[in-house]
């Protein structure tokens, strides 16, 4: 009998007992190739392990109500040295949901201290995901995750996503579609009253809910312009797509913009410690510093020295080993191999993504883009079949509207080589065929 409450109670989970490079090993000796988005340096990386040992020998914990630490200061300096333009300060937390909660509170306090307390409306996009805490869940657009908790959620506004496969018309150029998709934000701001709008929240490349959906054309430049026009803060969520995952340290670099607030997490710690961060503009920091003198928020373990040591070691390793170039190079191979394997598959509707962050969407009828019946739970079958073949990927359901649709995210570690990419695609292809063949 087990006394732990797991995410899923339906079936027992294998017990992970070790990891080396891109591989995890369970208690039976079976090995799994980990392409599930978090472990960007793989497992047991000597540089990170050494940094954690060294930090533990110096200091494991100091409460941030009383102290800062050298390692937290170094991590913040390193993050800002490579941050998008205008971001000047870092608030260190323990994960992605915490980062988003902090970002939302930060935006609200900024306007309160600015003398605009009427700004309370948060706008985000349908088919987005921003975390599982109540504030993050409220701003997210994942219908299934929100449903049973709806009565507990603050009121937020949602617009259509920039989702080319499902929303771009056949006769639209990328430029025309980007303009139409961005216009939805301005229309919503006008609808609810510009003076009430606090922030627009978006994943730069949409992750778990829709499956590695990149923006089209100059969509985010238009979004940035609209936010500036109405004095609305732009919060970009790069918890999943950031920290090198798409081939640049921050995904928004490829869109030529900088947000007012940026949230990061998964790739920051690479799974070695729970850590996340909020990067904020100088204007926001100065408003707090020259006003109340504090940010009214906090958790016991924010800025934890062990977590900061892991984050700093990950960043230093990515830079030292030129891993962003490897992400770009192996990302091109991943794209090409996925297209070779699936472009003519009758049940693959779309292959999309950036860098080592790709999604494959499955359909019952390719021409009509018609998804499989939700009761089939294709994504769950795919996860089982992939694990049976020693592959960890990230399948999800509800791709189209929160209920219908299935996709899989493929996110290998930054240390991947060509042979590893080939193994991932080969095993994924076998798993897809097996999942589709099941009655």
Helices (H), 68-197: 70-81, 96-114, 134-139, 143-146, 164-167, 174-192
Using CA atoms in the order 281, 286, 292, 295, what is the torsion angle rounded to 10 degrees?
30
CA dist 210 and 396 (Å) reads 8
How far is it, in rounded angstroms, from Cα 317 to Cα 323? 8
Residue 432 shares a structural domain with residue 298: no
Q: Are residues 208 and 283 in the same domain?
A: yes
pLDDT digits (tens, 9 = 90+) for 9-24: 888 899 999 999 999 9
Report field, pTM of the whole predicted structure over 0.85: yes
Regarding whether 305 and 405 lie in a shared domain, the answer is no
Q: Is residue 40 part of a domain?
A: no
In terms of domains, do 355 and 217 share one? no
Percentage of the residues of the chain whose pLDDT score is greater than 90: 97
The count of structural domains within the chain is 2
Answer yes or no: is 373 within a domain: yes
Average the pLDDT over 343-356 and give the result: 97
- Pair 278, 262: CB distance under 8 Å: yes
Looking at residue 8, its pLDDT comes to: 86
Please tell me the distance from the alpha carbon of residue 360 to that of residue 379, in angstroms, as a whole number: 11
Residue 181 lies in a domain: yes
Mean pLDDT of 373-377: 95
Q: Which residues neighbour 406 within 8 Å (Cβ) at sequence distance 6 or greater?
A: 361, 362, 371, 372, 378, 379, 382, 395, 396, 397, 399
Residue with tokens 């349908």: 126
Based on the domain organization, do 180 and 308 belong to the same domain?
yes
User: Is residue 43 in a domain?
Assistant: no
**Of 292, 320, 348, which one is at a domain's C-terminal end?**
320
Q: What is the CATH number of the domain that holds 374?
A: 3.90.1150.10
140 inside domain: yes
Same domain, 199 and 273: yes
Least confident of 47-51, 384-388, 435-439: 435-439
DSSP 109: H
CATH code, domain with 56: 3.40.640.10
Give yes or no: residues 364 and 271 share one domain: no
Tell me: do 71 and 188 sit in the same domain.
yes
pLDDT at 380 over 90: yes
Sign (positive or negative) of CA dihedral 160, 163, 165, 170: positive
Within a domain: 98: yes
Does residue 26 have a pLDDT over 80? yes
Domain boundary among 320, 336, 360: 320
82 touches 253 (CB < 8 A): no
Average pLDDT over residues 171-181: 98
**Domain final residue, candidates 320, 354, 370:** 320
Q: Are residues 353 and 241 in the same domain?
A: no
Range of the domain at 347: 16-34+322-437
- Say yes or no: 149 and 294 in one domain: yes
**pLDDT one-digit tens code per residue, 199-218:** 999 999 999 999 999 999 99
Pair (178, 287) in one structural domain:
yes
Whether residue 326 sits in one domain with residue 306: no
Residue 343, class by beta-carbon neighbours within 10 Å (0-12 exposed, 13-18 middle, 19+ buried)?
A: exposed
Distances (CA, A) of 192 to 107, 122, 135, 186: 18, 10, 20, 10
Look at residue 10 in the predicted model and tell me its pLDDT. 81
Position 1 pLDDT exceeds 70: no
- Mean pLDDT score, 231-260: 98
Instruction: Determine, yes or no, domain membership for 2.
Output: no
């Amino acid at each position: 009998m087990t006394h732990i409450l797991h995410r899923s109670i339906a079936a027992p989970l294998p017990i992970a007992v070790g990891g080396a490079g891109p591989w995890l090993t369970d208690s039976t000796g079976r090995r799994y190739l980990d392409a599930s988005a978090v472990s960007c340096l793989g497992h047991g990386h000597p540089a990170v392990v050494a940094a954690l040992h060294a930090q533990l020998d110096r200091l494991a914990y100091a409460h941030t109500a009383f102290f800062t630490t050298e390692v937290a200061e170094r991590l913040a300096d390193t993050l800002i040295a490579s941050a998008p333009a205008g971001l000047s300060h870092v608030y260190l937390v323990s994960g992605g949901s915490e980062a988003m909660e902090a970002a939302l509170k930060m935006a609200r306090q900024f306007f309160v201290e600015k003398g605009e307390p009427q700004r309370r409306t948060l706008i985000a996009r349908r088919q987005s995901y921003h975390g599982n805490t109540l504030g993050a869940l409220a701003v997210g657009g994942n219908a299934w995750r929100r449903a049973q908790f709806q009565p507990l959620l603050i009121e937020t506004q949602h617009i259509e996503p920039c989702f080319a496969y499902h929303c771009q018309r056949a006769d639209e150029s990328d430029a025309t579609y980007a303009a139409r998709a961005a216009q939805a934000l301005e229309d919503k701001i006008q609808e609810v009253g510009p003076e009430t709008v606090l922030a627009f929240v978006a994943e730069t490349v949409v992750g778990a809910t829709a499956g590695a959906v990149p923006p089209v054309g100059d969509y985010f430049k238009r979004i940035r312009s609209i936010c500036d026009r109405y004095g609305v803060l732009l919060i970009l969520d790069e918890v999943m797509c950031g920290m090198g995952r798409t081939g640049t340290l921050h995904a928004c670099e490829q869109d030529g913009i900088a947000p007012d607030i940026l949230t990061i997490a998964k790739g920051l710690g690479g799974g070695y410690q729970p850590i996340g961060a909020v990067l904020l503009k100088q204007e926001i920091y100065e408003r707090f510093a020259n006003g109340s003198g504090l940010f009214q928020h906090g958790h016991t373990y924010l800025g934890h020295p062990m977590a900061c040591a892991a984050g700093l070691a990950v960043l230093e390793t990515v830079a030292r080993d030129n891993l962003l170039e490897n992400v770009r190079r192996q990302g091109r191979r991943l794209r090409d191999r996925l297209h070779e394997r699936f472009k003519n598959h009758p049940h693959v509707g779309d292959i999309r993504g950036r860098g080592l962050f790709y999604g494959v969407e499955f359909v019952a009828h390719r021409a009509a883009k018609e998804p499989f019946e939700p009761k089939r739970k294709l994504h769950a079958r795919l996860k089982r079949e992939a694990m049976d073949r020693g592959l960890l990927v990230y399948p999800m359901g509800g791709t189209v509207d929160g209920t219908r649709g299935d996709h899989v995210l493929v996110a290998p570690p930054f240390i991947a080589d060509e042979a590893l990419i080939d193994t991932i695609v080969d095993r994924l292809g076998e798993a897809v065929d097996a999942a589709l063949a099941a009655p």
